[in-house]
Amino acid sequence: MSEIKDSKLNKQGRDRVEWAYRDMPVLQEINSSMSRRKPLKGINIAACLHVTTETANLLITLKNAGAKVSCCASNPLSTQDDVAAHLSKDYGIETYAIKGINNKGYYKHIIDSLKIGPNLTMDDGCDLVTVVHKSHKKYLANIIGGTEETTTGVIRLKSMSNNNVLKYPIIAVNNAFTKHLFDNRYGTGQSVMDSIMRATNRLVSGKNFVVCGYGWCGKGLAMRANGLGANVIVTEIDPTKALEAKMDGFRVMSGNEAFMIADFICSVTGNLNVIDKHHFKNMKDGVIVSNAGHFNVEINIDSLKKMSTKRKKIRNDIEEYSIGKKKIYLLSDGRLVNLSAAEGHPSSVMDMSFANQALCSEHMVKNHKKLHNDVYDVPIELDNKVAQIKLKSMGVEIDKLTSEQDAYLNSWESGT
Ligand SMILES: NC(=O)c1ccc[n+]([C@@H]2O[C@H](COP(=O)([O-])OP(=O)(O)OC[C@H]3O[C@@H](n4cnc5c(N)ncnc54)[C@H](O)[C@@H]3O)[C@@H](O)[C@H]2O)c1
């Protein structure tokens, strides 16, 4: 039995899910092919993903492909309650997700979603896989493989694999080119700016906007903040990424320097305490602090709480912390701001991420016997297929290698 906020929200959820689907042409093509072929017939899938309109379209595709599907949220604040209602009521997909649930409820929902007895797991951040491996090992017997959506999840899985504790093969969907080059970069770039502006209604132009981390997400965020007229400052720990940010035209500083002059700070590193106690002491009055990395560990919120003399909710997604006369504004409790204060990435980028998820599920069903208990990249043929369908949907034609060019590229003998 699903656990959702209100099943009567299903009609609103349906309209929004259909709206998203219009901008997901790759998934549409995969859905129509899989609905005919039923490659996931007899497969049970437990999915731990942000419960958004785009995720709904993925889960519906998996169901149409013959799978039995259950789902839970991969973040306590990212659930769209109307979408959860639609999945549960209109599609009979067992859904365990309520926006704003506490930590205990969040983990209970993960455990609930496992009751389906999964053959495949689909995770975003590796919480579901961790629960299976730590406390619910009985489910391992039936699991043939899984997929992982995000950078942080892939890092955790690689650590499991290196420590020889991973018990089934998992495909790192995040590592597909058609995922991270678009979702992490353009998706995060647009949706994080959207969320900060929705939450605060503050002007970005002319402000000092600090981006912590210049990885795929950070590059997108810096690009979009710059496009809105902000003075972008990047902080990094990797010298090459820092150099890249510098040559892309941004100011690069240490956190100590940057946070002192910041009007906005957003972390997107996947790392711990990037914005820490000693930083809060030196921040300007009125600074707006947020996080777009997967977990709410990038900002040391515990120390902010301890340092502050007063806390006040200002409006949805904004909490004011007073340190003496200074005010620091934290967005969305330091959780993924774009999924909490806005709606996550636009459908058009999730189209490619979730097309990879659907194709990788089929690939895993067909090939799991050949795979070891390890983390695998998305096969390049599937990655290319997603790019090709996307280009076709945009009406873009590209050139093909001639046989002469193909031979040249494969030859070591020809020189000048
Ligand atoms: N908000 C979203 O919708 C969304 C989407 C995709 C990924 N993510 C998450 O965002 C995070 C980053 O993902 P990515 O794909 O950009 O990863 P990435 O590995 O490409 O980039 C992370 C960057 O952060 C830097 N970094 C690490 N520690 C740092 C520190 N202390 N200070 C400054 N920089 C530091 C690294 O050097 C690296 O360049 C992950 O947690 C990922 O799961 C969020």
Provide DSSP, 46-58. EEEE--SHHHHHH
* Whole-number pLDDT of residue 401: 97
Radius of gyration over every alpha carbon of the chain, rounded to an integer in angstroms: 22
Residue 414 pLDDT grade (very low, low, confident, very high; cuts 50, 70, 90): confident
Q: Mean pLDDT throughout 381-391?
A: 98
pLDDT in tens, 116-155: 999 999 999 999 999 999 999 999 999 999 999 999 999 9
**Using a 6 Å cutoff on CB, does residue 236 contact ligand 1?**
yes
**H-helix or E-strand spanning residue 131:** helix 127-134
| Burial class for 343, CB neighbours closer than 10 Å (0-12, 13-18, 19+) | buried
Amino acid at 408: Y
Domain with CATH 3.40.50.1480 in the chain: 7-179+345-393
- Report the nearest-CA residue for atom 17 of ligand 1: 215
Domain 186-340 falls in which CATH fold? Rossmann fold (3.40.50)
* Whole-number pLDDT of residue 232: 98
pLDDT in tens, 34-81: 999 999 999 999 999 999 999 999 999 999 999 999 999 999 999 999
Q: Mean pLDDT throughout 321-346?
A: 96
- Compute, in angstroms, the gap from residue 303 CA to the centroid of ligand 1: 22
* Whole-number pLDDT of residue 33: 98
Amino acid at 318: I
Neighbouring-strand partners of residue 147: 122, 171
- Compute, in angstroms, the gap from residue 154 CA to the centroid of ligand 1: 12
Residue 169 pLDDT grade (very low, low, confident, very high; cuts 50, 70, 90): very high
Handedness of CA 61, 65, 70, 73 (dihedral sign): negative
Residue 96 pLDDT grade (very low, low, confident, very high; cuts 50, 70, 90): very high
pLDDT in tens, 251-284: 999 999 999 999 999 999 999 999 999 999 999 9
The answer to whether 324 touches 309, Cβ cutoff 8 Å, is yes
Among 125, 81, 72, residue whose Cα is nearest residue 100: 81
pLDDT in tens, 288-301: 999 999 999 999 99
Residue 379 pLDDT grade (very low, low, confident, very high; cuts 50, 70, 90): very high
Give the Cα separation of 59 and 42 in Å (integer). Answer: 15
* Whole-number pLDDT of residue 271: 98
Give the C-alpha distances (Å, rounded to integers) separating 217 from 64, 121, 124, 207, 222.
Answer: 32, 25, 16, 20, 9
* Whole-number pLDDT of residue 416: 81
Provide the Cα torsion 25, 29, 35, 40; round to 10°: -90
Among 196, 309, 214, residue whose Cα is nearest residue 258: 214
Give the C-alpha distances (Å, rounded to integers) separating 169 from 113, 123, 142.
Answer: 20, 13, 13
Which atom of ligand 1 is least distant from the CA of 218?
16
| Burial class for 241, CB neighbours closer than 10 Å (0-12, 13-18, 19+) | middle
- Compute, in angstroms, the gap from residue 184 CA to the centroid of ligand 1: 9
Which atom of ligand 1 is least distant from the CA of 217?
16
User: Phi, psi (5° rounding) for residue 112?
Assistant: -60, -40
The torsion region of residue 111 among left (phi > 0), alpha (psi -120 to 50) and beta comes to alpha
Q: Mean pLDDT throughout 157-169?
A: 98
Q: Mean pLDDT throughout 14-31?
A: 98
**Using a 6 Å cutoff on CB, does residue 238 contact ligand 1?**
yes
User: Phi, psi (5° rounding) for residue 124?
Assistant: -135, 90
- Report the nearest-CA residue for atom 19 of ligand 1: 215
**Using a 6 Å cutoff on CB, does residue 188 contact ligand 1?**
yes
Which atom of ligand 1 is least distant from the CA of 344?
3
Query: What number of other Cβ atoms are within 10 A of residue 301's Cβ?
Result: 20
- Report the nearest-CA residue for atom 27 of ligand 1: 269
* Whole-number pLDDT of residue 347: 98
Which atom of ligand 1 is least distant from the CA of 271?
28
* Whole-number pLDDT of residue 342: 96
Which atom of ligand 1 is least distant from the CA of 216?
16
**Using a 6 Å cutoff on CB, does residue 406 contact ligand 1?**
no
- Compute, in angstroms, the gap from residue 293 CA to the centroid of ligand 1: 6
Give the Cα separation of 189 and 211 in Å (integer). Answer: 11
- Report the nearest-CA residue for atom 3 of ligand 1: 188
**Using a 6 Å cutoff on CB, does residue 292 contact ligand 1?**
yes
Provide the Cα torsion 220, 226, 232, 236; round to 10°: 20
**Using a 6 Å cutoff on CB, does residue 318 contact ligand 1?**
no
Domain with CATH 3.40.50.720 in the chain: 186-340
Looking at domain 7-179+345-393, its CATH class is alpha beta
Q: Mean pLDDT throughout 179-190?
A: 97
**Using a 6 Å cutoff on CB, does residue 268 contact ligand 1?**
yes
* Whole-number pLDDT of residue 415: 84
User: Phi, psi (5° rounding) for residue 223?
Assistant: -65, -45
